[in-house]
Amino acid sequence: MANISNRRIPDRAMQFAPFAALKGYYETVKMQERITEPRRDVSEEDAETISYTLNNLRIGVTVKVRYYDIDSYTTITGVVAEINFPYRRLKVIKTAIPFDDIYSIELIGKGII
């Protein structure tokens, strides 16, 4: 018992450090819990609306984007950080979204366009 109390505090705290025996296990389990859904076709009117919105969008505007991500639809709300027309990519906060994966886009705020 005298040995434990003589340890320096950082050394004693080391015994309570988290230990991940299976690296990446929890991320894999989280991916398995995702509900997959097939990609839906965008109607012609919705495609025109998305195209019009993207053409008139500015950096710094807050948007709500629903897009297809890997195997299901995801919604993100945030500030537009980049609009890259040559690469056909929209960046909201730190998430890069290809134009072809956008299902809907909504501007948050009044009098934006």
| Predicted confidence (pLDDT) per residue in 26-49, tens digit | 777 777 777 788 899 999 999 999
Phi and psi (nearest 5°) for 15?
-70, -15
pLDDT in tens, 77-86: 999 999 999 9
Q: What is the amino acid identity at position 22? A: L
Question: 63 burial class (0-12, 13-18, 19+ CB within 10 angstroms)?
Answer: buried
The DSSP call for residue 35 is P
What are the boundaries of each domain within the chain?
A: 44-107
The span from the CA of 66 to the CA of 111, in Å, is 21
The fold of the 44-107 domain, in CATH, is SH3 type barrels. (2.30.30)
| pLDDT tens track for 61-82 | 999 999 999 889 999 999 999 9
pTM above 0.85, yes or no: no
pLDDT of residue 111: 44
